[in-house]
Amino acid sequence: MELENALKEIRKGDKRKFEQTVDLLISLKGMDMRRDSVNVVSTIPHVFSEKRVCGFLENKSDLVKTVMKAEFDKYKDKKALKLLVRDYDFFIASAKVMPAVATAFGKSLGPTGKMPTPQLGVLMQETPEAIKALLARISQSIKIKAKEPAIRIAIGKETMSDEHLAQNIRTAYNDIVNVLPAKKENIRKVMIKLTMGAPIKVESL
């Protein structure tokens, strides 16, 4: 089934009392996931959810929840640290405090895929303009990380147009394919679904 037809098909299910998310499911094959784990940031064209962002910065910012270096010790408390990691989708950091961030938060943020990286999250200059620009990029970004041969990511909302959903899906799919060792040969199956709906197989993207 072509993607556009699959999008029409998933909408035929029972209506819910809440706005459902559209999920993209990709099954992989021919990979050793211990060696070939997937870790990529996809920048989608259409924003569908607000990202909760926390910044490890030298100075307090009005643009983002800020944790300054002097406050790092507070998060030696495991409960406080767990809540911080849970409550935010993305973390950014000033390059100057990044070494201290790696020491204090690396073991907690690393496994969740939330560690600030030069790819998306590290500020070379801590200015309002730089923070705004990074937040704009994050609003359109999806972190895709998988250690198993199956990827499931939220890609949009059911209230979005089929055109916008298709553009988001194709963008994320292509970004995933580009980091696979054998590209499309590593794709076993692609499906889409609504939160409470049945998966629909997509034969053609």
Nearest to 196 by CA among 155, 168, 158, 144: 158
Nearest to 105 by CA among 148, 73, 135, 147: 73
CA distances from 14 to 18, 148, 196 (A): 12, 31, 9
Question: In order of start, what are the domains of the chain with their CATH numbers?
Answer: 3-47+144-201 (3.30.190.20), 53-139 (3.40.50.790)
pLDDT at 119 over 90: no
Alpha-helical segments (H) within the chain: 3-10, 78-87, 98-109, 128-139, 162-179
Q: What is the pLDDT of residues 127-154, one digit of tens each?
A: 999 999 999 999 999 989 888 899 999 9
Q: What is the pLDDT of residues 15-71, one digit of tens each?
A: 899 999 999 999 999 998 888 888 899 999 999 988 999 999 999 999 999 999 999
Q: What is the mean pLDDT of residues 94-120?
A: 92
Q: What is the pLDDT of residues 161-170, one digit of tens each?
A: 999 999 999 9
The pLDDT assigned to 68 comes to: 95
Q: Report the mean per-residue pLDDT for the chain.
A: 94
The pLDDT assigned to 202 comes to: 97
The pLDDT assigned to 113 comes to: 84
The pLDDT assigned to 39 comes to: 86
The pLDDT assigned to 37 comes to: 82
SS3 87: helix
The pLDDT assigned to 83 comes to: 95
